[in-house]
Structures are given as C-alpha cells and as structure tokens.
C-alpha cells in the first residue's frame, strides 16, 4: 500500500478495542475471525469452551509506515452516498478502527454523518463476498481463482459483438466513470447505464424544462435568511446532507439581532419538518400548487427584487390566486399571502424534493419551486448552476428502460453491474428482474450477495472503498481522492484493475488504448493531466503527495 498517512501519539488502546461500532454489530468470535484474515504472523488465543484456537494476527514485522501502538491517519473520501464527504481514517496495526470528518474538506468541513461513521461496518462485514464466485450447473456459487474468472470473462467478450455489451454502474463521477465509458466505447458499445434509485429524476426533468439544463441546482442555504422546503429532507438524505445541514445552521443563526426562519411544507412530519420553525401540511401532491400561489402573490404585488422579465410570467400564475389555491392545497389564503411577503423580505431560497417529489406530478412540483425562486430573484444568488462536472451525467431513468427492452429482445450478450442493484431497486412494473434471465452472461462486481448478484453468472467482488484507489468529482472544481487505508480484508480485486486486465487479454485496440499496468497508475495519469491544467509550479510528485494528505484539491472558493 503506497498511501500517505500521518501518525499520532500512543493512546494505549488496541486496534480491536477501537472498533466500537463494528464490534457491537456482530458476534465477537466472527469479528476476530474476520480480522485474522488481514494480518501477517499469528497469535493463538484459545477461547473458553471453543473446540479449536482462534487467531488474532498482529504485525510480526511492521511495515515502514506502521508503528505498533501508534495510530496512523489517512485522508480519503466517504462513498456511502453521492455527497463525497472527506474522512480521516484512524489505522492501528494495519487496521482501520475509526473514521472522522476531514476538517480541511470543502464539502463537510470536518463533520461526518452516522452513515459515514458506519462505513467500517461494511469493511469488516463477514457477509462480504470473499473471492470470485462462479455459478455452477446446479445454480449455486462456487469459488474460483481470479485468473480463471478473468479468462472466462475475456472469452465471453471475445465471442460477443461489442454492441451487445452493456455496463450498469451506480453514481460515479471521476476517473473510474471515464474508464468505464472509454472501455465500452473502445469495445464498440454504447450500452452505458448509470442508475441511482434516488436519482432526483423529477428535479432534473424540471430543471431541463425551466432552465434548459439537466444538472442539479446547487443551493446556498447559508446565504439565505428564509428557507422554504417543499418536502426536501436536506437534514436527512437529500443531495448533500452534511453540506446543507451546515448551510441550515448558518442560515438559522442569530445575525444583527435577528434569526433566520425555516418553513417546511410536507404532509408528513419528517425529521427535517421537526426542525422547522413552521410546518405546513398541505394536501398530498399539492405542494406545487402552493409554490405557484406564493409566486402569484410575488408577481402580482411586485414583492422583493424580481428579475426584469418576471412580469411576463403573470399569465402562468393567473389560475393560482391565493383564494383558488387554498381550496386545492388546504392552506389558507392568508397563510399564502404571509409566506409570499416573508419569502421576499430578505435573502431566501426554496427547495423541492423528498416524498413531495415522488408522486405522479413530482416534476411539476419541482418546476413550480424553480419558478418561485426565479420570480423572487434567487437564481444567481442562493440558487446556482454550472457546478456539475457533467451536466447530463447519463443518469436518465430512460437508459434503464432501454436496457430492459434490449434484454427482452435478446440484444444483450454480456452485462456488467457495478455499484448498483437494479434487480431490487428498479420499479416492479419495469420487469427488469425477469428480463435479466434472458441475458446469456452476467457479471457482478458486488461486495455482497444482493439480488442482482444472485442472478449473475460470475461475481468478481470489488474492494471496499476504504481498500481502494479512486477519485470522485461531486461538482466542478472539486476533485476528491480515495486511497487504501489498509490491506484488503478478503481476496477481492479493484474493478478498475479487472477492466485493465481484460483490455490486455483481449489485445488489439483494447490493449493499445489501455496501457496502464494498474488502476493506480491509470488514476495517477488522470491526475497528471489535472496537475497540468492547474498550471502548478510544483512537481507532480509533490502535488500528488499533498493531494493525498489533504484528500482533495479544489479550485472553487471555500466557504
């Protein structure tokens, strides 16, 4: 492992004792057995009443960057959700024992949510797939070697037309995302599918209709003194929870003797609604009606600082007068009038999402909130665009529909799935799970035996995010690094390395296009280009080392 870490002092706590969360989540003996896989000497410890000794394996001869009894901290990136928060991993005797937020990170500024804190549970989970598996004639999985697994995939790729190779991934934005796209293109395929169960499809659709771009807006909650959320649970799971929680705290704080206000509009009393100053429960599915009614009052009375062409939208809001809207959404006309005046009294922002963006008119609700922000003059102030590294991102749900149709028509010969579980997460009406049975050869890179992996012919388990090299770009100007904080617990292999090995095995254009020996080399080549783009005077080695120590580089101003 060539990662970069920093040591701290001795604290007298063993590596196993430091894993508080992981140890509580499983049987102690199973936990010690998992830890025993990752070491290199042996220390036999016979448990009372056990039939055979159990082994806890520490360092017999420690490597250079590990000192027994002294913790090493590695900066890396949390991949438990698409937010891309920075973390510091505390490592003792070669094992990660604690995760904390990276205080120098531009997204989370040292904070870490419960989901990020629990990432160690996935790292040491005894239910992880421990090595490559192949489905036999009886329909069960049996272990095979990595060499055999890669050879089988290469043979299938060599026999299949390139256009009939499809690749499904989760939310990826960075070097691995480009590797998969380039790998498929070189193979002659356009079958790339990016699938997120919570892909904010309605918000993307509304943004395309109102502003002509598919990227998700970026909301500056910290710059607003009045926040209206139409179902967006930004204190829970919506978009970037830690970033928006920090913004909410800044917005809600006292300044100049006053305090910001937060109004939550949602039929359900969510955790975010419980933290609101005012909760307004409209009739389910009518959140957009309320947003347009507020916009009607703003345009009618010329409140706040609307853009010069806001008046042209007056016919759009004509049917949403407060008296008419009150009967539809169950919110009184007086409340609508008051919300409009409060919303335009100072810096404000409106957001839409959560359960309010999951019904049949979800895109209409999001579009109504976009229009409300526009007539209030918030676009360009507290609502911004241009931060997405890829405005479209290839994340349209239609691509999953296209894949399902291709599978039904027997136009998919080889299917790869990485970081997604569409057999479970896709809508039942789509029929994707049934269509999977028609694909002759399916390869899953899942770390667990999920529903999609169970339908695969081969399972090639990927490293845990804490065991792998990678990067992530949550938005333009922010490049986040992942480095392995410890050796792999099981016999897994990084998917990027598998794709590069397959390219070499297939030869021809594939071997000529992908010449990197390892995915780490491929990643460093990408960061060499980033280093050149930044026109930095420092050498690449210095740039790379400092980036690893910080966990990221960014060019946008840090709030």
Query: Among candidates 226, 234, 223, 221, which has minimal Cα distance to 259?
Result: 226
Instruction: Report whether 79 contacts 418 (CB < 8 A).
Output: no
Strand order in the sheet with 226-230: 278-280, 261-265, 226-230, 348-352
How confident is the model at residue 354, as a pLDDT? 77
Q: What is the rounded average pLDDT of the residues 409-413?
A: 97
Q: Is the pTM of this model over 0.75?
A: yes
Which of the listed ranges 56-70, 186-200, 403-417 does the model predict with the highest average pLDDT?
A: 403-417
Residues of the chain with pLDDT > 90, as a percent, come to: 67
pLDDT tens digit sequence for 317-365:
889 999 999 999 999 999 999 999 999 999 999 999 876 567 778 889 9
199: its two tokens:
């892909």
The residue ranking higher by pLDDT, 173 or 264, is 264
Q: 40-54, 373-387, 431-445 — which is least confidently predicted?
A: 40-54
Q: Is 8 left (phi over 0), alpha (psi -120 to 50) or beta?
A: beta
Q: How confident is the model at residue 65 (pLDDT cuts 50, 70, 90)?
A: low
Whether residue 265 has pLDDT greater than 50? yes
Does an H or E element contain 191, and which? strand 191-194
How confident is the model at residue 58, as a pLDDT? 58
How confident is the model at residue 387, as a pLDDT? 66
Instruction: Report whether 493 contacts 513 (CB < 8 A).
Output: no
How confident is the model at residue 182, as a pLDDT? 97
pLDDT tens digit sequence for 387-402:
665 544 457 889 999 9
Whether residue 125 has pLDDT greater than 70? yes
């Amino acid at each position: 492992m060539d990662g970069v870490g920093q040591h701290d002092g001795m604290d007298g706590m063993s590596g196993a004792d430091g894993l508080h969360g992981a140890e509580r989540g499983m049987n102690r003996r199973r936990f010690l057995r998992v830890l025993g896989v990752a070491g290199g000497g042996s220390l036999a410890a016979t448990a009372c009443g056990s039939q055979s000794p159990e082994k806890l394996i520490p360092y017999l001869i420690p490597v250079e960057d590990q000192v027994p009894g002294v913790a090493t901290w590695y900066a890396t990136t949390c991949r438990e959700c698409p937010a891309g928060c920075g973390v510091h991993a505390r490592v003792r005797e070669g094992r990660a024992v604690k995760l904390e937020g990276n205080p120098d990170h531009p997204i989370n500024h040292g904070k870490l949510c419960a989901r990020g804190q629990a990432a160690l549970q996935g790292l040491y989970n005894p239910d992880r797939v421990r090595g490559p598996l192949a489905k036999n004639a009886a329909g069960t999985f049996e272990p095979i070697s990595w060499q055999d697994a890669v050879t089988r995939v290469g043979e299938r790729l060599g026999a299949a037309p390139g256009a009939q190779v499809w690749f499904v991934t989760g939310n990826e934005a960075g070097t691995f995302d480009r590797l998969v796209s380039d790998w498929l293109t070189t193979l002659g395929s356009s079958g790339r599918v990016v699938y997120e169960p919570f892909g904010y499809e309605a918000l993307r659709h509304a943004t395309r209709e109102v502003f002509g771009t598919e990227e998700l807006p970026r909301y500056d909650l910290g710059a607003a003194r009045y926040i209206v959320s139409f179902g967006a649970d930004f204190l829970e799971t919506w978009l970037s929870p830690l970033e928006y929680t920090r913004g909410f705290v800044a917005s809600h704080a006292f300044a100049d003797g006053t305090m910001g206000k937060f109004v939550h509009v949602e039929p359900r009393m969510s955790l975010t609604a419980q933290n609101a100053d005012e909760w307004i429960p409209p009739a389910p599915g009518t959140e957009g009606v309320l947003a347009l009614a507020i916009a009607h009052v703003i345009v009618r009375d010329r409140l706040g600082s609307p853009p010069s062409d806001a008046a042209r939208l007056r016919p759009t809001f004509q049917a949403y007068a407060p008296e008419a809207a009150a009967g539809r959404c169950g919110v009184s006309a007086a409340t609508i009038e008051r919300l409009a005046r409060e919303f335009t009294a100072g810096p404000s922002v409106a957001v839409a999402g959560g359960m309010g963006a999951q019904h049949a008119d979800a895109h209409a609700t999001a579009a109504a909130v976009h229009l409300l922000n526009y007539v209030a003059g918030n676009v360009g102030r507290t609502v911004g665009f241009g931060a997405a590294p890829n405005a479209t991102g290839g994340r349209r749900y239609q691509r999953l529909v296209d894949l399902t149709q291709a599978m039904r028509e027997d136009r998919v010969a080889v299917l790869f799935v990485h970081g997604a579980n569409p057999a479970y997460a896709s809508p039942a009406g789509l029929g994707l799970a049934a269509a999977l049975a028609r694909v002759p050869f399916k390869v899953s890179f899942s770390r667990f035996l999920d529903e999609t992996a169970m339908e695969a012919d081969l399972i090639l388990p990927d490293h845990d995010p804490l065991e792998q090299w990678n990067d992530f770009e949550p938005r333009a100007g922010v490049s986040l690094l992942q480095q392995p904080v410890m050796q792999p617990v099981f016999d897994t292999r990084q998917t990027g390395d598998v794709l590069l090995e397959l390219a070499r095995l297939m030869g021809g254009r594939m071997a000529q296009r992908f010449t990197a020996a390892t995915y780490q080399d491929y990643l460093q080549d990408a960061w060499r280009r980033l280093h050149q783009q930044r026109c930095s005077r420092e050498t690449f080695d210095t740039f790379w080392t400092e980036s690893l120590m910080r966990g990221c580089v960014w060019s946008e101003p840090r709030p």
